[in-house]
Structure 1
């Protein structure tokens, strides 16, 4: 049957429930969010003369929870207007409304007795055939549907979102004893296609897949810390970005999630997995028990492994817990010789052979923890899943690991991984040796652009399912490359569409990237039908190579700098005015030059999690790669009869002048960086390149014709320039901006006004580009601009001078 999810009910409005409700609202679904009725009035309600029968009181818990969630940072909602899709109510007055929904998701407290009470009420009101699921993180599904109707049990399963629901991609689906396979198939597809998740069907075992492996990994580290005499800072240094894990690494992550949450899950695994060969690891080390008893739970209690305090000078300081004395002390810098050896290795996966070969404490740490991890995950098959790739998918999507355990094992080598397990006092599962005996020496391999994995049940290498909707650049980069230099790889995506993948550090845009873009356009015009500019790194691009700009400016090589900026501008115009459609596929950070590139594409296919903006003010310049020109052009196109044109232009000016960066792709429509009716957003980043390719092909099929360069851009001249100059004078006088901020803003004003033309006029794009480049170059001669660029290069954050 064809199922459609137009409305969901979320039962329970805590952090998790509100987060799930917001994410369904993000994708356009109507949400009914319900919670319990308060048992007593607050003092404020008493003062207002309210009673327990008042609707405001009865919905207080749900409304307060949702309001708190919407104010939280990072936001659970893509755009504030999307919150209107959420209606609130309570379980006494509004439970009958669940009959109207297509899916009911229970997110109440993790107590089986309470969940069963809630399900009994829901069973009495839900419409037969309605999906119903629990967001439990560990309670067995088979216990929760006991006593329920046959239709309930047929349509019931676990659907475990990870917190925060918007940002973490793992979506575990756990069948109950009577769950209809059609339900599992639907949810698996819906999670990936609509919710933008990595859907993983797990078995009904304690903590399922993600938490079973993730909590083991953390508990293993907890025990290793004391055994090896490591500090909190040292462990977070070893378990962060250097191995492809989040910046919060281990201890900071526990502080954010809450030590009580971790202890709850660890205790659940320890109590409910009597046959786990490493069950002793789920016993809390003494220092964890002490912290738990003292309620040092992390951010929620004000202190955990880290503690923020205010000094006598009023400045805040982050203290670290000393695991020996259990007192807080100033933070110490952690460094290891082994980590220094990986600094020149850009690909995280290539670092692991170096890390396990270290001769210091870091090398010992990696050998011990990875060996234990390899052994543990091998023994979890077939207990928690039958397919090894599901473990890797779960760890990447739920815990933010760049590579899963079996991928890391492949990186160090099958035999070496077995040896590491043995050095850690463990043995791998028998199936690993069986695989080796069959002559299969890796868990994964790539064939013709597709990933294959070792299927334990089949005893052979099989194609990983679910890849048809994806284009994975890692899988095609070598076999489908048609051009490469140090900055880009150009791949043939098939069907006449090329892709330009940035490969520079942080995907910055320098000379090699610009040369690659020009070459790709040339190739596409000659032998192909369209071009996509996209990559699958953490960020699309953090902007132009400001290091190169800084060196030219310091050496006063202004002619060379002028040519470099013109080359950037000309490349953007080449993309805009080519014979083939060009599609930009931004995601993550898309700043400065990366944003300018997107502004000049025929169409933008943005990932929902795209943080895009023109941030050049932060380094003392204006957008010089066509961004200032393009925002002026877009303001001109927005002018309508009877509009106050100055107000329209000012909004576009402020987008640049305040260095606005959207917190989602949807917010970028408000700033004019993305255009309604033209640009599109995809929720699942894994589908982005394939979607961009489809749009490039569609435009080509429709008979794409090169656009005509614009000569009809309306600029407002002295009228606009006067407005801007008065505004910057006021801002400076009020101490809102510095003298240098004013100088930068006035340069931008000159460009966007079209200079000091005596009246509103129509000018060409080339005219505006010349103004833009002149302004950019003049700012590069300013000492304070050079100070800002240098500070950004050295500190990674803006300087206000």
Structure 2
């Protein structure tokens, strides 16, 4: 069979979902044709211009308006604004014949079977044989949609359910139709993982498939429990948020964002189409939901839902909460539970579940009831919605942002303990769970030879989870492959001569122990290995330097110790740059301040596409002091070209620091000079990041890596640059764009990046700039307003402008 390559896709339907899918294909370099219907009527602007329906701008108005709305939305559906150029728009009357040029057609029209079938009938007139054709339906049975279509259509047709927003949520459900070929399923499964950066899950053609079937059950279960347990919506959101590894929006805020009408649509579909579901009545909407639907309290889209944002007489915003008893809005009530206090010292979410179900208060009762219901439900969905339990966990993690799936949580509590709490709630697990225990398998998952295994019901044994060979899962190898460990870092042998240094501090902050671990990793790699990766698989790469440590030293006026600590940071970054082995940084998520500096000093960066990276030190009243200010001056110098106005080039790098710019994707980081074109690379699937970094390290080592020589040729512009910067900051302060203290920080940065007040452009060493940087950093740490900024950040997590 010939190799299938996707060069161009057509997306049919440009609503929120369709435009989002189009943007994500553009993100990965695919040409996209986005089509929608022709408007039936002219709008007022078109009438005023004397246009007619025959006019091209009118005929494409719906699709163009939808795409522009998507591109302007926050968070953005696209990695970089230039990627939007890969999307061509059109309409289903004038441009439908163009689908014969594409490799994959994705239907994303309204959720009505009659309309979908009509669209497919029209598409088949123009689709060339062999073209993939899929539906993004969230619940309509796939088997009904292909009725009446050709054999070739049916063979290449299935469901491909993206979750909204398509860029950020990783779940990609693939739902085969009755005649979908195995080749198509295998291709889509691999394409979703490798190119779209998704977690691909092949689901059965059952109502709501896997993710929404379980997710909507969980939400409906909470809707019924909230009154039964006398909980407020704030309390439920507190109990179902980050403490159990769920998004900050938890339950009710998430429903507001998604839209209550969307949830009700799916819940009604399950209620109507799953009459034999043992929890059938749970999908019946409680009275308060029906009232909210009647009142059009649908959430963010209508301005109010479970929460409502209002302004008081002074113009100050306040978030009100809905009282589910009175259905009136009231001021927020802070939620607090003794059980949750017990989990505060426990950093790993997976270790909290045993504590939570043992709680003696209302929270403990909530968790026992909630987990009992979920465990019973997911066990009974096998084999109905999936034959393999891991698919349910994968779907919940990728589609709903859960850190751990229900079977993983059950394992953490203990399978037998989970059954006990089920029985206490009058529930029973599916019979296969008891069979599993009887066969000697006491958990749903195990790790064997560095690979995740799951309990396979048909063979009654632990079976290797498929498609792991492209991944390196640090949790699976950490204990068996540990080379070194301290309180801040652990070093693992990845095999093939490459080691990894993984931060283990809170939020992966970079303090003394982390730096010691990094230095130890370089020592070990230089002695016994061929390359070093600095990477982890936490929620974020690192939020930067440990500012709490800096604050304590500065408050105690321990300036000599602080100078030593900053020099240690700088020296460690320079070791990353000038070691005898290739070093690779693998940032993802938040990669701020010191974490950005670390990445800038690696030989290569293998960044996840979803990397939010920047030098944000201005927010705490200092300049980048871990070699970041030096590095930006060096990169500006390396960017100078014959004929450039060098001051303008330097100014761009200065502003990246001075405005604390943070790239909202790895691709934007190239524009800011934080990543370098031709050297650094981007990986769309974060799960493949460590494996990809390892491959690059191996290539660099095999190519004959040569230890770099420290630079002494950095061109700095001296007084001419310093004068320009000082005039600029003075003007900005005079116009009240920046505060007096902002000006002071900016002037310190200007002095470093200009290379001091040298009388003319001069070539200097990196060490010269590092010394200027450290001196400026230390002087700012003596400022009261800087200490206020650091303290405010430590207390609130937000910057203070004083």
TM (normalized to structure 1)?
A: 1.00
Partner residue in 2 for 1:535: 536
C-alpha offsets along residues 391-430 of structure 1, whole Å, 9 cap, x if unaligned? 0000000000000000000000011111111222211101
Partner residue in 2 for 1:482: 483
Task: State how far apart, in whole Å, the 2-side matches of 1:238 and 1:425 are.
Answer: 23
Q: State the secondary structure of the residue aligned to 1:304.
A: coil
Task: State how far apart, in whole Å, the 2-side matches of 1:680 and 1:238 are.
Answer: 39
Number of residue pairs matched by the alignment:
801
**Aligned runs of 1:428-443 on 2, under 5 Å?**
428-443=429-444
Greater than 6 Å deviation, 4+ residue runs: none
Partner residue in 1 for 2:224: 223
Partner residue in 2 for 1:266: 267
Task: State how far apart, in whole Å, the 2-side matches of 1:102 and 1:418 are.
Answer: 49
Task: State how far apart, in whole Å, the 2-side matches of 1:251 and 1:144 are.
Answer: 33
Task: State how far apart, in whole Å, the 2-side matches of 1:400 and 1:279 are.
Answer: 25
Q: State the secondary structure of the residue aligned to 1:693.
A: helix
Q: CA deviation at 1:792?
A: 0.1
Partner residue in 1 for 2:93: 92
Partner residue in 1 for 2:392: 391
C-alpha offsets along residues 489-517 of structure 1, whole Å, 9 cap, x if unaligned? 00000000000000000000000000000
Task: State how far apart, in whole Å, the 2-side matches of 1:434 and 1:232 are.
Answer: 39
Partner residue in 2 for 1:761: 762
Partner residue in 1 for 2:776: 775
Q: CA deviation at 1:94?
A: 0.2
Partner residue in 2 for 1:559: 560
Partner residue in 2 for 1:57: 58
Task: State how far apart, in whole Å, the 1-side matches of 2:134 and 2:229 are.
Answer: 43
**Aligned runs of 1:331-346 on 2, under 5 Å?**
331-346=332-347
Q: State the secondary structure of the residue aligned to 1:320.
A: strand
Task: State how far apart, in whole Å, the 2-side matches of 1:57 and 1:197 are.
Answer: 36
Partner residue in 1 for 2:425: 424
Partner residue in 1 for 2:113: 112
Partner residue in 1 for 2:103: 102
Partner residue in 2 for 1:415: 416
Q: CA deviation at 1:459?
A: 1.4
Task: State how far apart, in whole Å, the 1-side matches of 2:69 and 2:575 are.
Answer: 47
Q: State the secondary structure of the residue aligned to 1:800.
A: coil
Q: State the secondary structure of the residue aligned to 2:110.
A: coil
Task: State how far apart, in whole Å, the 2-side matches of 1:10 and 1:194 are.
Answer: 17
Q: CA deviation at 1:292?
A: 1.0
Partner residue in 2 for 1:496: 497
Q: State the secondary structure of the residue aligned to 2:624.
A: coil
Task: State how far apart, in whole Å, the 2-side matches of 1:155 and 1:381 are.
Answer: 27
Partner residue in 2 for 1:577: 578
Q: CA deviation at 1:293?
A: 1.2
Task: State how far apart, in whole Å, the 1-side matches of 2:426 and 2:95 are.
Answer: 57
Q: CA deviation at 1:647?
A: 0.2
Partner residue in 2 for 1:171: 172
Q: CA deviation at 1:448?
A: 1.4
Task: State how far apart, in whole Å, the 1-side matches of 2:543 and 2:410 are.
Answer: 31
C-alpha offsets along residues 104-135 of structure 1, whole Å, 9 cap, x if unaligned? 00000000000000000001110000000000
Partner residue in 2 for 1:620: 621
**Aligned runs of 1:721-740 on 2, under 5 Å?**
721-740=722-741
**Aligned runs of 1:343-742 on 2, under 5 Å?**
343-742=344-743
Task: State how far apart, in whole Å, the 1-side matches of 2:448 and 2:622 are.
Answer: 47
C-alpha offsets along residues 550-573 of structure 1, whole Å, 9 cap, x if unaligned? 000000000000000000000000
Task: State how far apart, in whole Å, the 2-side matches of 1:179 and 1:420 are.
Answer: 42
Task: State how far apart, in whole Å, the 2-side matches of 1:115 and 1:294 are.
Answer: 30
C-alpha offsets along residues 258-279 of structure 1, whole Å, 9 cap, x if unaligned? 0000000000000000110000
Most deviating of 413-422 and 230-239: 413-422
- List gaps (5 residues or longer) in structure 2: none
Q: State the secondary structure of the residue aligned to 1:341.
A: helix
C-alpha offsets along residues 28-50 of structure 1, whole Å, 9 cap, x if unaligned? 00000000000010110011111
- List gaps (5 residues or longer) in structure 1: none
Task: State how far apart, in whole Å, the 2-side matches of 1:797 and 1:677 are.
Answer: 35
C-alpha offsets along residues 460-515 of structure 1, whole Å, 9 cap, x if unaligned? 11100010000000001111010000000000000000000000000000000000
Match status 1:40 vs 2:41: yes
**Aligned runs of 1:271-286 on 2, under 5 Å?**
271-286=272-287
Partner residue in 2 for 1:135: 136
Q: State the secondary structure of the residue aligned to 1:453.
A: strand
Task: State how far apart, in whole Å, the 2-side matches of 1:702 and 1:621 are.
Answer: 40
Task: State how far apart, in whole Å, the 2-side matches of 1:573 and 1:74 are.
Answer: 35
Q: State the secondary structure of the residue aligned to 2:567.
A: helix
C-alpha offsets along residues 148-204 of structure 1, whole Å, 9 cap, x if unaligned? 011000000000000000000000000000000100000000000000000000000
Task: State how far apart, in whole Å, the 2-side matches of 1:422 and 1:176 are.
Answer: 38
Q: State the secondary structure of the residue aligned to 2:660.
A: coil
Task: State how far apart, in whole Å, the 1-side matches of 2:416 and 2:772 are.
Answer: 62
Task: State how far apart, in whole Å, the 1-side matches of 2:462 and 2:590 are.
Answer: 37
Q: State the secondary structure of the residue aligned to 1:727.
A: helix
Task: State how far apart, in whole Å, the 2-side matches of 1:425 and 1:81 are.
Answer: 57
Task: State how far apart, in whole Å, the 1-side matches of 2:293 and 2:481 are.
Answer: 54
Q: Aligned-residue CA RMSD in angstroms?
A: 0.4
Task: State how far apart, in whole Å, the 1-side matches of 2:39 and 2:576 are.
Answer: 59
Partner residue in 2 for 1:66: 67
Task: State how far apart, in whole Å, the 2-side matches of 1:597 and 1:425 are.
Answer: 54
Task: State how far apart, in whole Å, the 1-side matches of 2:467 and 2:669 are.
Answer: 31
Task: State how far apart, in whole Å, the 2-side matches of 1:133 and 1:163 are.
Answer: 17
C-alpha offsets along residues 231-290 of structure 1, whole Å, 9 cap, x if unaligned? 000000000000000000000000000000000000000000011000010000111111
Task: State how far apart, in whole Å, the 1-side matches of 2:615 and 2:696 are.
Answer: 25
Partner residue in 1 for 2:203: 202
Q: State the secondary structure of the residue aligned to 2:343.
A: coil
Match status 1:798 vs 2:768: no
Task: State how far apart, in whole Å, the 2-side matches of 1:107 and 1:491 are.
Answer: 44
Task: State how far apart, in whole Å, the 1-side matches of 2:722 and 2:49 are.
Answer: 53
Task: State how far apart, in whole Å, the 2-side matches of 1:268 and 1:46 are.
Answer: 41
Task: State how far apart, in whole Å, the 2-side matches of 1:632 and 1:480 are.
Answer: 39
Task: State how far apart, in whole Å, the 2-side matches of 1:393 and 1:160 are.
Answer: 14
Task: State how far apart, in whole Å, the 1-side matches of 2:462 and 2:334 are.
Answer: 45
Task: State how far apart, in whole Å, the 2-side matches of 1:578 and 1:349 are.
Answer: 37
Q: State the secondary structure of the residue aligned to 2:483.
A: strand
Task: State how far apart, in whole Å, the 1-side matches of 2:422 and 2:298 are.
Answer: 32
Q: State the secondary structure of the residue aligned to 2:125.
A: helix
Q: State the secondary structure of the residue aligned to 1:158.
A: strand
Task: State how far apart, in whole Å, the 2-side matches of 1:149 and 1:228 are.
Answer: 54
Partner residue in 1 for 2:258: 257
Task: State how far apart, in whole Å, the 2-side matches of 1:109 and 1:296 are.
Answer: 22
Task: State how far apart, in whole Å, the 2-side matches of 1:723 and 1:48 are.
Answer: 49
Task: State how far apart, in whole Å, the 1-side matches of 2:213 and 2:744 are.
Answer: 56
Task: State how far apart, in whole Å, the 2-side matches of 1:717 and 1:38 are.
Answer: 61
Task: State how far apart, in whole Å, the 2-side matches of 1:345 and 1:589 are.
Answer: 22
